[in-house]
Amino acid sequence: MDNFDTRKWFKKQYLEEAGIQEGIWALGTKKDIQMFIQDIEDIKEKHYDFVGSDAVYNGLDQAIVEAEELLKIAKD
């Protein structure tokens, strides 16, 4: 059991209990995730008049929602 990574185990347990399923393959810092969210907000604003599709903007909004969930478990 020398190679057992306690931090990874607890993180996995947390993700399972929080209902976060497969698909998370990387988790940056809170600052990284906040920068991602700001980038998405900037894209929404910059391209609003050119890509006027509810489906596109719903997807971007969902990306922000999911990133905000990752913020809850990211390190400072």
Largest separation between any pair of C-alpha atoms in the chain? 57
pLDDT recorded at residue 41? 98
pLDDT recorded at residue 1? 47
- Asked if residues 60 and 40 have their Cβ atoms less than 8 Å apart, the reply is yes
Q: What is the mean pLDDT of each run of 10 residues along the chain (76 residues)?
A: 71 73 82 98 96 95 95 91
pLDDT recorded at residue 22? 64
- Which token pair is 48? 């609003």
Per domain, the residue ranges of the chain are 6-71
pLDDT recorded at residue 66? 94
- The alpha carbon of 10 is separated from its chain's Cα centroid by a whole number of angstroms, namely 19
